[in-house]
Amino acid sequence: MLAELQAISALDERVLGTHPITALAEIKRAMSAARIAADTWAATPIAMRVALLSDLITAILADIDAITTTIMSVTGKVKTEVLLGEIYPVLELLRYYKKSAERILAPCPLSTSPLAFPNASAQFERRPYGVVGIISPWNFPFQLTLSPLLTALFSGNGVIFKTSELSIPVGELIMQLVNRIDLPTGLIQHIIGGAETGEHLIDCRPDLVFVTGGVATGRAIMARAAQHPIPVILELGGKDAMLVFDDANLTRACNAAMYGAFSNSGQVCVSIERLYVQQGCYSQFVRMLQEATAKLTVGHGTEGDLGALTSLDQYAVVEAHYQDAIAKGAKASSPLQKQGRYLHPVVLWDVTHDMRVMREETFGALLPVMAFGTEGQAIQLANDSDYGLNASIWSTDIHRAERVAKQLQVGNWAVNDVIKNIGHAGLPFGGVKNSGFGRYHGAEGLRNFTYTVSGLTSRSELNDEPNWFPYSDLRYLQMRGFIDFIFGDGFVWQRIARNWQALQAFRGYAQSNARQHWENFLIFLFRRRDY
């Protein structure tokens, strides 16, 4: 087993640093420290947690250029891509939870039936799991580490996170940022290594595991977590569909397709990887795509749309999908060209669903285009996938576009826009099918990093209750009458009349301090609309 890992720049392949792999014994010590810190953090009022974590906005803005440079060097992204795809979403999420976390996590009182639960109150609350283990990917190492990390912290948890072995300097950058905040010692910890280190993290039994990665990685982690067992949230791959109807604004749709398919050189889980275009505008739209693709620039000059490949291993998948499509009759805007770590984007058309490029996640700068006839066919084609992460629908008929969107088997959708919906901090994000399960972002995302505790408080001074022992045939008849009174047919007065004898078992509720509650209940009954 390797004892250390080298961090390599995706821009020029120079060594950025050498890092010791975190040993199992160190992870165990980190888990012990995180548990102590998490207890302190969970006891910290939500308002104080929010105030402390919100300071990260200032810390990021103060060093935004240096942060951009580090991420660009590690990932190979162009700097505008870093700003918009890595930094902005984190700031947006921080701002959203700064405004909303206290409300979202507040205890929730519930109404109680004055007959079944007299003089009682009910509520439920959210409690943090404890320590969350986060395993993040190499394609967006800043955003896809910090987003779940911050969500876990806002909801009161400690965190141990492992970045991809391709993204170690970004993990160090994150630690430098969070160390500027006055947090309990050991609350956030970074471990270094590959798949085996991730296995060690899970075997140290965090209370929740959050993973962003491919399907194979998700299955392996889920199987490992099941041995303990530990709940998991999986944000896995996608094969996102873009549906363009012939009444769409084709210029806007074409520009969106360029961004949706080729941003970050296609290394985005919500990249457009299947483009379906209605037959009436198919030929015209394919020509527009070819012309637009030819204008895209590659590199890190003063202008550059597509940066370098973060992982050269991914090129083998892109090449295999390209060659398979060409062999099966697809046409291409150009040969597949890779210059060093830079891959030129390619449009493929006349593709079919028996081609790998339409079935498997490519994660690279290929855009396959296929024609459809009817609305129903478009929906069928889009749903014919093992994945279900995101989708976009393009039409000037908003009613139709939203009707189609609501029939797609995805966790997220957008009409007349692409990818941007994922950046909305208030919208829960996650997939269905092989794209995973669980959500982050929004209120639902924050609550997913907590568990629910429910409570009922009785203030009754009675010595017993009608549902307590002893049981008898008489008690059976009384309770049967009570159930018919609550749930049976007819007006209230009819249900009272036919169950009057059974309801005498509840007369005790009118005694002592419960008398007012009984009187209020009778007033409630006789004011009901069904009386």
Structure-token pair, residue 382? 């889009």
Q: Is 53 helix (H, G, I), strand (E, B) or coil?
A: helix
Structure-token pair, residue 166? 């391709």
Nearest residue to 350 via CA among 365, 370, 364:
370
Whether the Cβ atoms of residue 63 and residue 119 lie closer than 8 Å to each other: no
The yes-or-no answer on residue 86 being catalytic is: no
* CA separation for the pair 51, 361 (Å, rounded): 40
* CA separation for the pair 417, 252 (Å, rounded): 9
DSSP element (H, E) containing 517: helix 515-527
Catalytic choice (235, 273, 360, 361): 235
DSSP element (H, E) containing 368: strand 366-372
Whether the Cβ atoms of residue 239 and residue 360 lie closer than 8 Å to each other: yes
Neighbours of 63 (CB within 10 A): 15
For Cα atoms 434, 381, 291, give the angle at the middle one, nearest 5 degrees.
105
Structure-token pair, residue 130? 């404890």
The yes-or-no answer on residue 269 being catalytic is: yes
DSSP element (H, E) containing 366: strand 366-372
Whether the Cβ atoms of residue 342 and residue 306 lie closer than 8 Å to each other: yes
The per-residue DSSP string of 434-490 comes to TTEE--BSHHHHHHTTEEEEEEEEE----S--TTSSPP-HHHHHHHHHHHHHHH-SS
Whether the Cβ atoms of residue 211 and residue 217 lie closer than 8 Å to each other: yes
3-state secondary structure 118-164: CCEEEEEEEEECCEEEEECCCCCCCHHHHHHHHHHHHCCCEEEEECC
Catalytic choice (172, 269, 281, 361): 269
Cα dist. 204→224, 228, 240 in Å?
Answer: 11, 10, 35
Cα dist. 12→73, 307, 351 in Å?
Answer: 8, 12, 35
Write down the residue that tokens 């990260």 correspond to. Answer: 56
Whether the Cβ atoms of residue 347 and residue 367 lie closer than 8 Å to each other: yes
DSSP 22: P
Structure-token pair, residue 465? 């209750």
Q: Which residues contact 146 (CB under 8 A, 6 or more apart)?
A: 90, 174
Active site residues: 235, 269
